[in-house]
């Protein structure tokens, strides 16, 4: 069980959602998942305003169903449960467009087909987008945890060399380090990052009653 606040869903966080007065749990939930849902909605084709609406509607749906949660990893993952809610909230935003854009069905069949696929609850496209965003957020969460376990200097070297993909020569020049320090930082931070990602992937499941 992961004991700190991270993208992985903790039993205490999930259980706490059933209590509407528990502001800390809801703040944690919003902080951990609103960015994920927003990125998913944007990549699904929504505008900034539509994506923000989808985020709020998804969180409201979670709030309405919170008292019916049952923590049962054997029946399904939290990731899949949240995807099911988020994809329908994205679909709602597409549906809101259609009444005000009747010309889509007559003049732009390719766009209409794209919308139809995006709002299909059984379609694979949004699940692929969701998985991409989920792993992106998981990696960001893992990086934040790693930053707390290495020196600022080592993380800076890793960030420049691995994340920003600077050549070794530039890292040496700009940070005033030698090649051995660059490769040592890469090896140590990468090893820690792998462990953190594996830990986060072991998140518990969640299923409604």
pTM for this one?
0.62
For residues 137 and 25, which has the higher predicted lDDT (pLDDT)? 137
What is the distance of C-alpha 190 from the center of its chain? 21
Confidence band (pLDDT; 50, 70, 90) for 5?
Answer: very low
Question: What pLDDT is stored for residue 209 in this prediction?
Answer: 35
Rounded distance between C-alpha atoms, residue 122 and residue 117, angstroms: 9
DSSP structural state of residue 161: I
Mean pLDDT estimate for the chain: 75
- 36: nearest Cα among 93, 95, 83: 83
| Percent of the chain residues past pLDDT 70, beyond the cut | 67
Q: Provide the token pair at 176.
A: 């005033």
Question: What pLDDT is stored for residue 106 in this prediction?
Answer: 39
182 CB-contact burial (10 Å; exposed 0-12 / middle 13-18 / buried 19+): buried
Question: What pLDDT is stored for residue 152 in this prediction?
Answer: 95
């Amino acid at each position: 069980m992961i004991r700190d606040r991270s993208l992985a869903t903790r039993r205490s966080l999930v259980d706490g959602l059933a209590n509407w007065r528990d502001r800390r749990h809801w703040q944690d939930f919003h902080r951990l998942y609103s960015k994920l849902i927003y990125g998913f909605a944007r990549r699904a084709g929504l505008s900034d305003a539509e994506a923000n609406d989808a985020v709020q509607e998804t969180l409201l749906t979670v709030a309405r169903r919170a008292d019916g949660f049952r923590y049962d990893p054997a029946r399904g993952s939290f990731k899949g449960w949240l995807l099911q809610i988020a994809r329908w909230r994205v679909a709602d935003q597409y549906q809101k467009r259609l009444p005000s854009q009747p010309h889509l069905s007559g003049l732009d069949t390719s766009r209409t087909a794209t919308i139809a696929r995006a709002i299909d609850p059984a379609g694979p496209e949004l699940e692929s987008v969701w998985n991409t965003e989920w792993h992106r957020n998981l990696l960001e969460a893992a990086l934040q945890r790693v930053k707390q376990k290495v020196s600022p200097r080592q993380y800076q070297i890793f960030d420049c060399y691995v994340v920003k993909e600077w050549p070794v020569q530039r890292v040496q020049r700009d940070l005033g380090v030698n090649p051995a320090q660059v490769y040592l930082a890469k090896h140590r931070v990468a090893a820690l990052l792998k462990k953190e990602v594996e830990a986060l992937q072991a998140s518990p499941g969640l299923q409604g009653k």
